[in-house]
């Protein structure tokens, strides 16, 4: 019986399979988070151009319309109801405040505004997305919010173009 090696491969596979699957899940989770963040950055950048050129202001765009614009340009990875948009004007590029996040890592909705600004004003556009982790509790430190979720952020800062002529 000592020379019988039947099942040895199955035992070796069982020992390696769980760590392998955990590692595979962690790799996929991390890749999805980075990809979703990049797509959110892209969507925000493209949509922020509407503010920078004055198209949004001239059309009387709403916060919901702008949020939907960011969502639609994010490769379908984001659920719009989890996306928060903060648009505000600044006195200077160095005048940006920290993220409107409370002590639990949750976006403080009371601190979010939608002020796309006038021609020549400096505007800061930030997007926050509540990303639920697919494979939680792996000890990877991916969750930065309560409930095994990660807060993804995207930011664009710019000076509005001179679109005053079109306003008159």
Number of domains in the chain: 1
Question: Would you say residue 150 lies in a domain?
Answer: yes
Does the pLDDT at position 147 exceed 80? no
pLDDT of residue 138: 66
Question: Would you say residue 59 lies in a domain?
Answer: yes
User: Per residue in 54-67, pLDDT tens?
Assistant: 999 998 889 999 99
Does the pTM of the predicted model rise above 0.95?
Answer: no
User: Per residue in 38-49, pLDDT tens?
Assistant: 999 999 999 999
Question: Would you say residue 1 lies in a domain?
Answer: no
> Between residues 167 and 118, which one has the greater pLDDT?
118
Does the pLDDT at position 9 exceed 60? yes
Question: Would you say residue 157 lies in a domain?
Answer: yes
| Portion of the chain with pLDDT greater than 70, in percent | 90
Question: Would you say residue 25 lies in a domain?
Answer: yes
H-state helical runs in 1-158: 8-52, 55-59, 63-72
Question: Would you say residue 92 lies in a domain?
Answer: yes
Question: Would you say residue 3 lies in a domain?
Answer: no
pLDDT of residue 66: 95
Does the pLDDT at position 32 exceed 80? yes
CA dist list (Å): 132 to 12, 119, 148, 149: 34, 38, 7, 4
Range with the poorest average pLDDT among 8-17, 37-46, 55-64, 138-147: 138-147
Structural domain span for residue 51: 8-167
Question: Would you say residue 126 lies in a domain?
Answer: yes
* Sign of the alpha-carbon torsion through 10, 11, 16, 20: positive
């Amino acid at each position: 019986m000592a020379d019988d090696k039947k099942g040895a491969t199955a035992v070796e596979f069982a020992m390696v399979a769980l760590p392998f699957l955990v590692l595979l899940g962690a790799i996929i989770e991390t890749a999805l988070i980075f990809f979703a963040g990049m797509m959110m950055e892209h969507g925000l950048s493209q949509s922020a151009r509407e503010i920078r050129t004055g198209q949004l202001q001239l059309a009387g765009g709403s916060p919901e319309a702008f949020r939907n614009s960011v969502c639609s340009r994010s490769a379908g990875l984001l659920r719009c109801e989890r996306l928060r948009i903060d648009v505000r004007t600044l006195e200077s590029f160095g005048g940006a405040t920290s993220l409107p996040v409370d002590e639990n890592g949750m976006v403080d909705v009371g601190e979010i505004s939608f002020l796309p600004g006038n021609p020549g004003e400096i505007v800061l556009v930030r997007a926050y997305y509540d990303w639920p982790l697919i494979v939680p509790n792996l000890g990877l430190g991916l969750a930065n919010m309560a409930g095994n979720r990660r807060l993804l952020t995207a930011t664009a800062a710019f000076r509005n173009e001179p679109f005053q002529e079109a306003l008159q």
